[in-house]
Amino acid sequence: MSEQLKPLSLIYNKKSGFHAANKDEVYEQLVADLSTAGFEIQSFELSECINFDQMMQDILLRHRQAENVGVVVAAGGDGTLNAVASKLMGTDIPMGILPLGTFNYVARVLNIPLDLLDAAKAISEGQPRSVHVAQLNQHIYLNNASLGLYPLFIQKREQFNKHFGRFPLHAYTSALDVLIRDRKELKLEVEVDGQRYPVKTPLIFFGNNQLQLAEMKLRIAKAAEAGKVAGVVVAKSDKRTLFKTLWQLIKGNLDQASDVYSFAADEVIVHSKRNKLTVAVDGEIVTMTPPLKITVRKHALNVMVPA
């Protein structure tokens, strides 16, 4: 009796270029390799016309009904990984990653190869590893969440990407453009493990990816690795301070910037008198009603990594 094929659901974002003409041969080889490894593959495209929640319900049912739960693969950038991870948290179904983002911090921190065929090999021959997932109200973030100027950076970066292509440099050029044109100061009260602090800030940044935080030379990288809420607050909003902060960020010395404070906690609550706050969550812009409660769910998601 032949061995039953394992279900593999491949969820991809067409905007990431997964089916671009120059990737056709790679895609065909990837499917062939995964099929040879004993997977029964079904592909699902993310688009605005598809009900994502219903699609994921159908996918999870497929995997739960199989003798072997198989793997659900997210092919794309931060937004795609975030969406898929939010539905796999707390289940025994592991997530595979085919990295197609700009910086690919999630893949890199887990030593998942950036080459798609090698990443597929990690899915077929690797092992599941449990990872921490940060949560901000009803949303999760694998890399970071932020308020203030950072959401403006994201919006401007997407405009650069749309017109000139997707390049890491745009993360810095968009930031520079926003600093020249916009200054946004938030009056907040930040509650850190029960202790409240009044804050006037142009930017609060929460990081869950220790690699990203380490590359920014932030000491809280170790805290994020241990499953703590890791945050950064910029205390002044004048242009001179913001340009100096951006320069330190580019040099990878953000911890040495004046008026930049980092902290770690089990729980952070952001209070505001505003009815709505704009938040960037893993590169996606969402509007939330305060207070914003930030925690970390430890070992909440299983990801396939190289053995």
CB atoms within 10 A of CB 213: 28
CB atoms within 10 A of CB 266: 12
Answer whether 294's CB lies under 8 Å from 138's CB: no
What is the distance, to the nearest Å, from the Cα of residue 130 to the centroid of all Cα atoms in its chain?
Answer: 16
CA-based radius of gyration for the chain:
20
171-181: burial string, b at 16+ Cβ within 10 Å, e else? beebbebbbee
Six-digit token pair at 277? 């706050």
CB atoms within 10 A of CB 252: 13
Per-residue pLDDT of the chain (307 residues; tens, 9 = 90+): 346 899 999 999 876 655 554 577 888 999 999 999 999 999 999 886 689 999 999 999 999 999 999 999 999 999 999 999 999 999 999 999 999 988 899 999 999 999 999 999 999 999 999 999 999 999 999 999 988 875 444 444 444 444 444 444 444 444 444 444 555 688 999 999 999 999 988 888 999 999 989 988 888 999 999 999 999 888 765 666 666 665 565 555 666 666 788 999 999 999 999 999 999 899 888 999 999 999 999 999 999 999 9
Q: Which ranges of 93-189 does DSSP label H, i.e. alpha helix?
A: 105-109, 116-125, 149-164, 169-181
17-33: burial string, b at 16+ Cβ within 10 Å, e else? ebeeeeeeeebeebbee
Answer whether 95's CB lies under 8 Å from 302's CB: yes
* pTM of structure: 0.84
Cα–Cα distance measured from residue 127 to residue 188, given in angstroms and rounded to the nearest whole number: 43
Cα–Cα distance measured from residue 280 to residue 154, given in angstroms and rounded to the nearest whole number: 7
